[in-house]
Amino acid sequence: MSEALLVVEDLHVEIPTRRGTVEAVRGASFTVERGETFALVGESGSGKTMTCRAILRLVHPPGAITRGSIRFQGRDLVHLPEREVQRIRGTTVVMVFQDPMTALNPVLTVEEQITEAVPRSPSPASRRSRALELLRQVGMPDPERRLGAYPHQLSGGQRQRVMLAIALARRPALLVADEPTTALDVTIQAQILRLIVRLQKEYEMALILVTHDLGVVYQVVDRVAVMYAGQVVELATKADLFAHPRHPYTIGLIRSIPSVDRRRRLTPIPGIPPDLVGLGPGCPFAPRCAWASDECRAGEIPFLRVGEGHWSRCLKALQVGAAADA
């Protein structure tokens, strides 16, 4: 069997600060297949953005990848020379950020920003028509007129559509979308998300979708990595994750999804996420976990295979699972 499109193994990202070293990512492992829709979920500060930035080698110094490997199309991204990484970043792996205003260039028009990303083609006219075609594909209203607009003249949703057009212009094999809709109105969020998923299929891209919304995951993705305190704590197909969760944190997340049935109350996970400076050994979720015992607090917790393509970083995975399935 050939290797997956993206293989992330034991990834560590550390950021030195005055307070000490922030261990933003502490041994994340997962794979993404060609054309797959993959979600990274977890609460704020769990390391989702840092993991994405590491994949694009966009961790800002003094932050750095300190351990582990990232292979994309068989190439080692961690040790690739910067020039090569730039080429990959501009063509095969692209990222759409949470806030399109900061990612767009305020002094260039929409047309200039999209054509900059269109691969060299014979004439300016054909690049212009490609830019127009892309704007139509991302559902931009009145696209001819919007070609000459500057980012500040657009709404948040329209800016995110421009970001998508720029991303698609490169025909990437992997699109990394870091909470692409959280800055938008709720009604626009659903539209943009549907658009991303439709374009993903049309362009046959793999998609890493970062979200803290398990409802979104349930609707659109194939597989899920649940992150907690810089680690992937559960990795599974969507069906397995929702029907047979094998980590107490995942179970807590699923229970906290607002139910359509209003009689069922929301049950948030009690406690707060750990500080990522000077985390000791043991499971970082133990202080919030009803199942935790002394062995959970003591040593390294391995990433255990609990089923076909299903992994959990919990010593009690089987007991927890039996209870969840019951």
Ligand X SMILES: Nc1ncnc2c1ncn2[C@@H]1O[C@H](COP(=O)(O)OP(=O)(O)OP(=O)(O)O)[C@@H](O)[C@H]1O
- Chain positions contacting ligand X, by CB under 6 A: 15, 17, 22, 24, 42, 44-50, 212, 276
- Peptide linkage before 245 cis (omega within 30 of 0): no
CA-based angle 156:221:163, to the nearest 5?
25
Minimal distance, residue 25 CB to ligand X, in Å: 7
Question: Minimum Å distance from CB 287 to ligand X?
Answer: 16
Q: Supply the minimum distance, in Å, between the C-beta of residue 279 and ligand X.
A: 11
The partner in contact with residue 17, picked from ligand X, Mg ion, none with C-beta cut-offs of 5 to 8 angstroms by kind, is ligand X
Residue 50 contact, options ligand X, Mg ion, none, Cβ 5-8 Å cut-off depending on partner type? ligand X
Q: Which is nearer to Mg ion, 169 or 229 (CB)?
A: 229
Supply the minimum distance, in Å, between the C-beta of residue 66 and Mg ion.
20
Q: Is 49 in the site for Mg ion (CB under 5 A)?
A: yes
Q: How far apart are CA 131 and CA 125, in angstroms?
A: 10
CA angle, corner 90, sides to 84 and 95, nearest 5? 115
Distance of closest approach, residue 285 Cβ to ligand X, in angstroms:
15
Cα–Cα distance, 282 to 298 (Å, whole number)? 5
- Contact of residue 47 among Mg ion, ligand X, none (CB under 5-8 Å per partner type): ligand X
Residues in the chain: 326
44 binds, among Mg ion, ligand X, none (CB under 5 to 8 A by kind): ligand X
Tell me the two tokens of residue 53. Answer: 């930035």
Q: Between residues 49 and 181, which has the closer beta carbon with respect to Mg ion?
A: 49
CA atoms within 13 A on the CB side of 81: 2
DSSP at 182: T
Between 36 and 178, name the residue whose CB sits nearer to ligand X. 178
Q: Alpha carbon of 100 to those of 41, 95, 126, 130, 182: distances in Å?
A: 21, 11, 26, 21, 11
- In the list Mg ion, ligand X, none, the entry touching 154 (Cβ below 5 to 8 angstroms by class) is none
Helix/strand/coil for 16: strand
Taking a C-beta distance cutoff of 8 angstroms, is the pair 46, 228 a contact? Answer: yes
Task: Using the minimum distance from each CB to ligand X, give the nearer residue, 39 or 135.
Answer: 39
Is the separation of the CB atoms in 164 and 195 below 8 Å?
yes
- Please state the closest distance from residue 235 (CB atom) to ligand X, in A: 16
Question: In terms of CB distance, is 20 or 299 closer to ligand X?
Answer: 20
| For ligand X, the closer CB: 35 or 273 | 273
Per partner kind, with CB cut-offs from 5 to 8 A, the member of ligand X, Mg ion, none near residue 24 is: ligand X
Residue 159 CB coordination number (10 Å): 21
Name which of 52 and 117 has its Cβ closer to Mg ion.
Answer: 52
Q: CA torsion, points 31, 222, 268, 193, in degrees to nearest 10?
A: 110
Q: Is 218 exposed, middle or buried (0-12, 13-18, 19+ CB in 10 A)?
A: middle
Shortest CB 168 distance to Mg ion, Å: 23
> Stretches 8-16, 18-26, 33-41, 44-52: which one binds Mg ion (CB under 5 A)?
44-52
Task: Look at residue 5 and give the partner it binds from Mg ion, ligand X, none, a contact being a CB closer than 5 to 8 Å depending on partner kind.
Answer: none
What is the binding site for Mg ion (CB under 5 A)? 49
